[in-house]
Structure formats: structure tokens, C-alpha cells
Amino acid sequence: MAGYASGKKSFAISDRSGMRFPYTEMVREWNGSLVHYSEYEPKQPQLEPKPVGSDPQALFNPRPQRKSTAGLILLTENPFETIIYSGTTYINVYSINHQRSTGDVVRLRGPVAQNPTPGSGGPDAYNLQYFAPIPTFDGVSDIDNSNGFTITIGKIDSSGNVTTAQGNLTDPENYFYFTSSNNAITGNINGGGFNCSAGPVTLQAL
């Protein structure tokens, strides 16, 4: 069977414009239309969208920010004051801008020291997380009770008057107090020494 003629001397009518063009200058579009090359339009990409999968739901090996945990607040020298009011001993605690609330449970600790008792690692392994006892003063020895104390905001005096500050940047609240299970001897005595701290009952690793 004979092949097709080359059509070099022929003309063709464009399916788009209806105009006559040299046959050899005609091209076929994606939809089957025969048009002149000057009229050619490629297929719109949006007619064949690429499949898109679902959005990822989680990160691989994430490192989210941890929830804030209460930590230790270092106190100034001799931050505790004994107060005797109506036969009860109260302890005022000076903690600069502590931002605590009445009803919070706070544990007081002495300075960090080397534990004189060896740990489980043998005679050379000492627990460096040991907190030394808060020294007894004015007959009070329970300030570092391991259960902590429920505090009240403000500073109490021997007449039972409680002084509080506004608790803002210009006039911060620097005192809270609690009831001691001991009986102070004199009252209005400061003690505690250096590097005592106030914090939660149970410390958490950061």
C-alpha cells in the first residue's frame, strides 16, 4: 500500500480559526484539533492535577517545649523571723518578689552540701543533691520540714497584724508566713543562715 503524500504543496484549514495554512505547518493539539503552529495551545496543567496526599499529622522525633516546673528560689541571708502571737509561733519568710499565693505549699531547704552518708555507689559516692538542715534558732527547728508548709501572703507581727504589698513591679510582695509546730523562745529573732531556698515539696529534673 502506498504511503501518504508529503503535502508540501497542500493547504489545510485550521480547526480553531478556520483559516488556511500550509499543510506542513499544521500541528496536532492534545484534544485532537489540527491547528497552525502559531495557534497551538498546550494543555492547561490544571486539567491534569497531580495527586496530593494527606497532610502529615506529626513530626518525626519531635522536641516540644516542656511544661514549666517550679524550681528553687534562693533566699537572702537569715530570711526567717520568729513571731509569737497569741501563744502561736509564726515564721515570716523574706523572699523577694516571690509571686506566690495564699494556700500554696512551700518547702524550705538549707544550703546544698555534701551528704555525710555514702550513697548506693559505695563509700566514695556521696549524694550531691543533699540539702543541709536549716539551723535551729530561737527554739524553732521545723522550718525545713519535708512536707512543707501551707503559706499565707504577707508579714505578720506579734500583735497579729499582717502587712501586705500590692504585688506589682513597683511594690512587689516580698513576704509570706506559716505556722510553726515549735514554740519560739523570744520571738522577733531572725535566722536561717546563708543559701536557704524556697520551692516545691518535690523537685523535678529539668
Based on the domain organization, do 31 and 103 belong to the same domain?
A: no
Check residue 184 and give its pLDDT: 96
Please list, in sequence order, all residues whose beta carbon lies within 8 angstroms of the beta carbon of residue 4, skipping any fewer than 6 positions away: none
DSSP 162: E
Share of the chain above pLDDT 70, in %: 90
**17 domain-assigned:** yes
pLDDT above 70: residue 46: yes
Based on the domain organization, do 102 and 176 belong to the same domain?
A: yes
pLDDT above 90: residue 149: yes
Based on the domain organization, do 120 and 28 belong to the same domain?
A: no
**Predicted confidence (pLDDT) per residue in 94-103, tens digit:** 999 998 999 9
pTM of the predicted model over 0.85: no
- Environment class of residue 190 by beta-carbon count within 10 Å: exposed (0-12), middle (13-18) or buried (19+)? middle
Average pLDDT over residues 143-154: 96
Cell numbers found for residue 147:
512536707
pLDDT above 80: residue 13: yes
Count other C-beta atoms under 10 Å from residue 111's C-beta: 16
Based on the domain organization, do 189 and 137 belong to the same domain?
A: yes
Average pLDDT over residues 130-142: 94
Based on the domain organization, do 110 and 193 belong to the same domain?
A: yes
Based on the domain organization, do 116 and 26 belong to the same domain?
A: no
Based on the domain organization, do 37 and 130 belong to the same domain?
A: no
Average pLDDT over residues 181-194: 96
If DSSP codes are grouped into helix, strand and coil, which group holds residue 134? coil
**60 domain-assigned:** no
Residue 18 belongs to domain spanning: 11-43
Based on the domain organization, do 110 and 161 belong to the same domain?
A: yes
Average pLDDT over residues 59-77: 83
If one counts the domains in the chain, the total is 2
Based on the domain organization, do 33 and 111 belong to the same domain?
A: no
Q: How confident is the model at residue 143 (pLDDT cuts 50, 70, 90)?
A: very high
